[in-house]
Amino acid sequence: MPTTVLHHSATDWGIVAVFATVYLGMFLGGLPRLKLDRSGVALLGAIAVIALAGLSVEDAARAIDLPTIVLLFAFMVVSAQMRLGGFYGAVTRRVGAMPLSRNGLLAALIVVSGVLSAVFSNDIVCLAMTPVVARLCLQRGLNPLPFLIGLACAANIGSAATLIGNPQNMLIGSVLQLPFAGYVRQALPPVLISLVLLWGWLAFGPGATAGSPHPSPLPPAEEGANSQGVEEPAFDAWQTTKGLVVAGALLLIFLFTDWPRDVAALVGAGVLLLSRRLHTSHFMGLVDWPLLILFMGLFVVNHAFESTGLAAQAVAWLGAQDVVLADPGPLLIASAALSNLVSNVPAVMLLLPHLGGGGEQASVMLALVTTFAGNLLLVGSIANLIVADLARQQGIAIDWKRHAITGIPLTLATLAVVWGWMRFVA
């Protein structure tokens, strides 16, 4: 079969160079000798391809999937409402006050982290719960490492249960217009099985004793402070109830209506911003603006790269070798590998345009695998890094070796669960 050879201009190769540099930045977390994080790299990459390709601002804006950005922003506001109401810390303390055994407490915290992360941002859940879990363990004389690692892993796993649990799922659901209830039906069983595997490993496996002996006690001056040294808000029943009502209403709308999810979420965020007690600046201060910039920058860079035709050629070449990205095996391998190389959001952006005829099953697998793969390494997800950073402030060291004792076997096991479920059951 003859192969069509496309000739590419100098502009195309310039765009390819920018694309490669941007994704090198995604891999490294920035660029050497420059004070740039991933968001800065994506933003500068977008500026570069706009200049190289001669794109108008309007063309660049059209490359951005606005419903994804709106949905992500709206749920950042919802998560901010719950944090400002002291909800996450209050729930964690309530669980800690229960007369549970060590393994019972571990199970309860894994369930709480997983459930909350399925509705609210897993990063915010880890940010609010980590200091409370650390103190709880030290007060009970328990080794906090299995609990803290379990908190991060459960947040990652639980966030895969819905299309609003994490940014990459929001992106997949918005771009592919996946039905919310249909996704939950397919994703929930592997998520539940994976949470049970996590608990079993941390309760009875090598993960149960990882990191012993116990770390040094917490300095009293740190109590109640978050990563910025700012005291966590006290529990406010009214603000918490307001947030829960809005979040519950949005879930019902997503599950039982076909209303646009981005519009519904934006209206919900607007309701929460109407407050006599919480200033708008409080909400805006908890919105992850760098993540929104990362999304928008990558949308523009990826659009420019797609316009060169090189991505389509690469996928066609793989197809000629009988490697179809939408098939379960290649998709699982590519999703897991890219998620740990460039992070899960950029990985999803790279793979989404090439799912071909994989349909809803391929979309669900992409969402599950890119999320579960975040547990492999300590740097695999922002949630892991948040927990490690806050634990260090509490005098508890979670290095890559301690995390790997749980992260590597758990990731391999959960990816096997996804493969088996999607291949033979779903």
Q: What is the DSSP string of 181-217?
A: HHHHHHHHHHHHHHHHHHHHHHHHSGGGTTTPSPPPP
Average of per-residue pLDDT across 192-217: 78
Residue 425 pLDDT exceeds 80: no
Q: CA-to-CA distance for 146 and 215, rounded, in angstroms?
A: 12
Q: Give per-residue pLDDT as tens, 25-37.
A: 988 888 988 898 9
pLDDT score at 181: 94
Residue 217 pLDDT exceeds 70: no
Q: How confident is the model at residue 223 (pLDDT cuts 50, 70, 90)?
A: very low
Question: What percent of the chain stands above pLDDT 70?
Answer: 91
Q: CA-to-CA distance for 150 and 403, rounded, in angstroms?
A: 10
Average of per-residue pLDDT across 100-126: 93
Torsion-angle region of 235 (φ positive above 0: left; ψ -120 to 50: alpha; else: beta): beta
Domain boundaries, the chain: 10-425
Q: CA-to-CA distance for 103 and 394, rounded, in angstroms?
A: 22
| Residue 425: DSSP 8-state | I
Q: Give per-residue pLDDT as tens, 361-388.
A: 899 999 999 999 999 988 888 888 889 9
Return the structure tokens found at 256. 């039982």
Cross-strand partners of 231 = 225
Q: CA-to-CA distance for 275 and 279, rounded, in angstroms?
A: 7
